[in-house]
Structure 1
Amino acid sequence: MMTTTLFDDYAREAIATGIVLILLVVLRVITTKLVRRYARLSQTVERRTNLVIKYLHLLINIFLIIALTIIWGVDAKDIIIAVSSLATVVGVAMVAQWSILSNITSGIILFFSYPFKIGDTIQIHDKDFSIIAEIDDIGAFYISMITKEGELVIYPNSLVLQKGISIVKTEFLSSEFTD
């Protein structure tokens, strides 16, 4: 009778796990460098950059967990059942909170599409609440702006993507505000 060690029994899984963990580290480093380079070129605020990096790392970690469960022999059918059950629970919970997810998604879109930056003066074309203001901060959920009267206006990211927006020239704005 031949005795085997635990490592001999699971050598293939242990090696694959090591490769996946190395791949995780490499992917996280690469995505961080790429996002930071993009942010530097587009002059994006550090806090926004860190949020996007955090979201991408979360996505990479989810793929890691799925890969490890497959490597260690969890049946694909069981994974699908678990993921669909989790998605159902999260989906039901998010029905009441869909605006949060919408604003986070919009924040990521605004980060990569980069139509305006902090310090730009924009006009939001909304028949009920048209506004001209300077962008003070762009967060994961909202944009904060300051009007010529000094009012602080918080505008959700999802609405920014739904409304027409003009970037107002600084010279134009100065003459308009002084009149």
Structure 2
Amino acid sequence: MDNQVSGVIVATRTAFTQITALAVQYSFSILGAIILLIIGWTLARLIHNWAYSGLKKVHGIDETLARFFSNIIRYALLLLVFITVLGQFGVQTASIIAALGAAGLAIGLALQGTLQNIAAGIMLLVLRPFRVGETIQTPQVSGTVREIGLFATELVTADGVYLLAPNSTLWNVPVTNYSREATRKFDLSITVAREQVDQATTVLNDLARADGRVLDAPPPRVFIDSFSGSNATLILRVWIGTPDWWKTTRDLTHNAQARLAMEDIAVN
């Protein structure tokens, strides 16, 4: 009986000693891991803010793109810190890195379309074929750009309909940007009788020069485009500031018809 009691006491002391040794050993590991996490988290945030501020100052880098790249840097640093912390506890980090690589490859294959949209979004934000507020047209979509995201671009069509276009559909196609240049040309075609060509030319020239929204350089021009029987087709060519283009072209068309009618010039 005494021998059994002595054996239990010895076993208990041995177990306590081992537990104490493990506690001491892992307490330092846990303390080191906590310190690493605090330092890593702080550094990741500081570097994230520094990268975001620096990227915003780079010409051609959109705020969305600056935020995207700075977040990638932050999460990469946090991942590195996490792997380092695991190493504190004797975990084989090489196998973890290999597993993360395999998982990343699998996710990339599964999200191939999404990654394609992200790549297209980055290119759109870097090269900027269009900006927020500009009116664009592609073979598939048209409208005024409301927001350019990493996955898709928001637009509003001419009839006020909201449109969400995946970035990949805007990157691999020709894009017509109606708002990028400061001025735009407008050709107004009018067909009149041959004997009234000179009179109509004078009316159209006076009409264009009287409109303050029509630019003086290049100056307005009226020329004969073609003949058809007893008729001649005149072209009034003017240049207009892009913000005023739509309203001015509609006014010129309406006013030309009214002025030619006042001069008894028949428009065929």
Q: TM-score scaled to structure 1, two decimals? A: 0.65
Distance 1:105 1:177 in 2: 34
- How many Å apart are 1:22 and its aligned residue? 0.8
Structure with the higher fraction of residues in helix conformation: 1
Q: Where does residue 82 of structure 1 map in the other structure?
A: 99
Q: Summarize deviations over 1:126-166 as a string: whole Å, max 9, x none.
A: 4xx364x3211112321112344444332212233323445
**Contact 1:103 1:157 survives alignment (8 Å):** yes
Structure-1 residue corresponding to 2:76: 59
* Residue 137 of structure 1: aligned partner: 147
Question: Under a length normalisation based on structure 2, what TM-score does the superposition of the two structures give?
Answer: 0.48
Counterparts in 2 of 1:4-153, with a 5 A limit? 4=21, 6-9=23-26, 11=28, 14-15=31-32, 18-39=35-56, 44=62, 53-87=70-104, 89-91=106-108, 94=110, 97-111=111-125, 113=126, 115=128, 116-124=130-138, 126=139, 129=140, 131=142, 133-153=143-163
- Among 144, 151, 169, the alignment partner of 2:181 is 169
Relative contact order higher in (CA < 8 Å, ≥ 6 apart): 1
Residues 1-31 of structure 1, C-alpha deviations (whole Å, 9 max, x = no match): 8964734455367436523541332122221
Q: State the 1:36 CA deviation.
A: 4.1
Aligned to 1:29, the other structure's residue is in SS state helix
Specify the SS of the correspondent of 2:153: strand
Does structure 1 conserve the Cα–Cα contact (< 8 Å) formed by 2:144 and 2:157?
Answer: yes
Say which SS state the counterpart of residue 61 (structure 1) adopts. helix
Aligned length: 170
Q: Supply the RMSD in Å over aligned alpha carbons.
A: 3.8
**Cα–Cα, structure 1 residues 36 and 14, in superposed 2: closer, same or farther, change >3 Å?**
same
Separation (CA, whole Å) in 1 of partners of 2:91 and 2:123: 35
Q: Which residue is equivalent to 1:156?
A: 166
| C-alpha distance in 1 between matches for 2:174 and 2:119 | 18
Deviations, residues 101-128 of structure 1 (Å, cap 9, x unaligned): 32234334544x152431233444x4xx
Alpha-carbon distance in structure 2 between the residues aligned to 1:121 and 1:36: 30
> Where do 5+ consecutive residues of structure 2 fail to align?
1-16, 185-241, 250-268
Q: Is contact 1:119-1:136 (8 Å) kept?
A: yes
Task: Give the 3-state SS of the residue equivalent to 1:117 in structure 2.
Answer: coil
For the residue of structure 2 that corresponds to 1:144, the secondary structure is strand
Q: Indicate if the aligned counterparts of 2:152 and 2:165 stay in contact, CA closer than 8 A.
A: yes
Whether the aligned pair in 1 keeps the contact of 2:137 and 2:176 (CA below 8 Å) is yes
Higher-Rg structure is 2
* Contact 1:142 1:154 (8 Å CA) reproduced: yes
Runs of at least 5 residues in structure 1 that lack an aligned partner in the other structure: none
